[in-house]
Chain A
Amino acid sequence: MSDPVISCTDVHKWFGNFEALKGVDMQVEKGEVIVIFGPSGSGKSTFIRTLNRLEEHQQGTIIIDGIELTHDVRNIAAIRSEIGMVFQQFNLFPHLSVLQNVTLAPIWVRKWPKEKAEEVAVQLLERVGIPEQAQKYPGQLSGGQQQRVAIARALAMQPKIMLFDEPTSALDPEMIKEVLDVMIGLAKTGMTMLVVTHEMGFARAVADRMYFFDEGLVIESGSPDDIFKSPQEDRTKLFLSQILTH
């Protein structure tokens, strides 16, 4: 078994006096799909944002693909180029076209020539199912289309790991499926994915492991079967009962 591609040991994070992460441990192998769930305020988003340094952890170790995440700018830059992120609010750049959104980072960070970047971009847009929207602006697209562009934008940097922070929470119900389909397709290609979500159907379909967060700690983890059929902790049972019956 090779080294885990993500290795977190005893990660703590404080916001002022408030401790948001109280010692999180997690090991992720290459190609694994991890679903993180839990009540709001439990630290799930904070946790995955520490992985690409959108948040800074104050204690503990995070090692991504063999590189340790510290204050060293070169490490940070290297890690960021291996991780792609998809946000709850899509965060597309409104003043650029869809194509420009996807090609921006490859051109300016990886320094690819424009033609190559655009070729790759068009392929990715086909992969997420909306190649015809390339010249439109984000404001002209639906929520589901925007999120798919966001996924293509993250994939354009050819990351090894993809992080998803509640990717479907801001979507109207009829558009959730199209985005989840893309994510499932991505999982099947062997991408390492960490997904914060409440979509249990997605978890059942492709997750290798699920982590239940509450109050800054991992309460329980296991395969979807374990979690759904026989949760061990009371808090896990309580949360599952709240979200699975509505």
Chain B
Amino acid sequence: MFWRDTRFLQALAQVIFLIMVALAVRWLVQNLLTSLDERGLELSFDFFKRTAGFGIGEGLPFERIDTFWRAYVVGVFNSIRVVSIGLVLATLLGILAGVALLSHNWLLRSIVGAYVEVMRNTPLLVQLFFIYFGIILKLPSLADRLIVGPFSLSNRGFYFPRAVPQPGFTVWISLTLIGLVAGIFVYRRRLQERILTGVETRPGLWSALIIIGLPLAGWIFLPGNPLAIEDPVLIGLRIEGGARLTPEFAGILFGLVLYTGAFIADIVRAGILAVPKGQREAATASGLSPSQVLRLVILPQAMRVIIPPLTNQYLNLAKNSSLAVGVGFPDLYNISSTIFNQSGQAVQVITLMMGTYLLMSLMISAVMNFANDRLKIRER
């Protein structure tokens, strides 16, 4: 009676499932090959070496005669730019807003609360359109731009002076980095000393001296200046020189930061509230100052509650960066879809694009998981 044996039945169920999946996959693949044949396409990545034939507004230097592959790389670079800066800014905004949500001041709480509710209940794309088309593009034109010193704001972007590395820059920057590392070392050693011996060794003061002193000394004593300032100058109808924050970049960045910041605010608030009230009471009773209580007792415990949902929001930000296409910012998705339009090679383009986003997600998750593990409360 083997057909009633539990182990046989389990194996049979798996086999049936496998057959169904295999049949479905076979049918799909067959259709795919037929369709590709029909359109004269083939499944290889060679076409990436062809000439792009389109231009890209910002990121890395790119000409129309460059390859599709180079275009893709520029897209990835732009996405990384947006996501990395966006994560930092959104976290800062989120922390500030989260703390504000817990403030004693009703007015502050309500205003920030209203901001959070609006952000959470409207789609990001609508917000992006409003910010980009409704605010940024409505800024004065280049001729009527707002000028403050070398800075200018118009609907063509925000221009500001750029630091240009001169000969001697490498030496100076190495000096600065050495200073940074040495400063950190000194800080930790002196902090240890103070904890062990009880003598005030001023770790903060000494490390600050080193971190600031070395680059300063380098600037003064090395021949020439390591950096030169280049101001943006209006020549004819365009601005030459300097650096520019494009309307597109500003649009997607502000949109992402405002949107994600609201969600992070809520997470921070919940995290701080999750720390039992008794902790604050015990810490205050021990004589710690309010800022010490926050820094040494509340925040470390709040972090444990905050990190998992925060990871989620970081992943969302990275994925939402793909909406840059709505404001015309040449990110990974935007450029991929242009490559598709030019080449018709759907399968390869989509695979590459999705693979890149998956990689990005994995990396963010990995970093956050590492942070989460280090913060885990050890239980019996």
Contacts and interface: CB of A to CB of B under 8 A. Distances in A.
Interface string A59-82: 000000000000111111000000
Interface in B3-33: 4-7, 9
- For the complex of A and B, the 10 pairs showing the least CB-CB separation, nearest first, are A71-B5, A73-B4, A71-B6, A72-B4, A74-B4, A73-B6, A72-B1, A71-B7, A72-B5, A73-B9
A74 B3 CA distance: 10
A92 B173 CA distance: 70
Contacts of B6: 71-73, 76
15 contacts: A71-B5, A71-B6, A71-B7, A72-B1, A72-B4, A72-B5, A72-B6, A73-B4, A73-B5, A73-B6, A73-B9, A74-B1, A74-B4, A75-B4, A76-B6
Contacts of A73: 4-6, 9
Of listed A72, A74, A76, residue having the most chain B CB within 10 A? A72
A75 B4 CA distance: 9
Interface residues of B, number: 6
A152 B198 CA distance: 69
Contacts of A71: 5-7
A76 B1 CA distance: 13
A71 B5 CA distance: 5
A37 to B, nearest CB: 30
B337 to A, nearest CB: 48
Nearest to B5: A71
Is the contact region of chain B dominated by helix, strand, or loop, or is it mixed? helix
Interface string B157-176: 00000000000000000000
A72 B4 CA distance: 5
B117 to A, nearest CB: 33
Contacts of B7: 71
A71 B8 CA distance: 9
Contacts of B5: 71-73
A75 to B, nearest CB: 8
A7 to B, nearest CB: 21
Nearest to B1: A72
A57 to B, nearest CB: 14
A209 B6 CA distance: 34
A131 to B, nearest CB: 39
B3 to A, nearest CB: 9
Nearest to B7: A71
Nearest to B8: A71
Contacts of B1: 72, 74
A53 to B, nearest CB: 9
Contacts of B4: 72-75
A135 to B, nearest CB: 38
Of listed A71, A74, A75, A76, residue having the most chain B CB within 10 A? A71
Given A72-B5, A72-B6, A73-B4, 12 more contacts: A71-B5, A71-B6, A71-B7, A72-B1, A72-B4, A73-B5, A73-B6, A73-B9, A74-B1, A74-B4, A75-B4, A76-B6
A75 B1 CA distance: 11
A75 B5 CA distance: 10
Nearest to A70: B5
B1 to A, nearest CB: 6
A65 B6 CA distance: 21
Interface in A25-77: 71-76
B19 to A, nearest CB: 22
Interface in B199-227: none
B12 to A, nearest CB: 12
A74 B6 CA distance: 9
Contacts of A74: 1, 4
Interface in B43-92: none
B66 to A, nearest CB: 60
Nearest to A72: B4
Contacts of A72: 1, 4-6
A89 B5 CA distance: 31
B46 to A, nearest CB: 53
A60 B26 CA distance: 47
Nearest to A77: B4
A11 to B, nearest CB: 18
A151 B5 CA distance: 31
A73 B7 CA distance: 9
A76 B7 CA distance: 13
B113 to A, nearest CB: 35
A8 to B, nearest CB: 20
A72 B7 CA distance: 9
A200 to B, nearest CB: 33
A185 B4 CA distance: 39
Contacts of A75: 4
Nearest to A76: B6
A58 B308 CA distance: 42
A56 B169 CA distance: 73
B2 to A, nearest CB: 9
A71 B6 CA distance: 5
A176 B21 CA distance: 54
Contacts of B9: 73
Of listed A73, A74, A76, residue having the most chain B CB within 10 A? A73
A75 B6 CA distance: 11
A74 B5 CA distance: 9
A56 B7 CA distance: 12
Interface in A76-135: 76
A71 B4 CA distance: 8
A49 B320 CA distance: 52
A192 to B, nearest CB: 26
Nearest to B6: A71
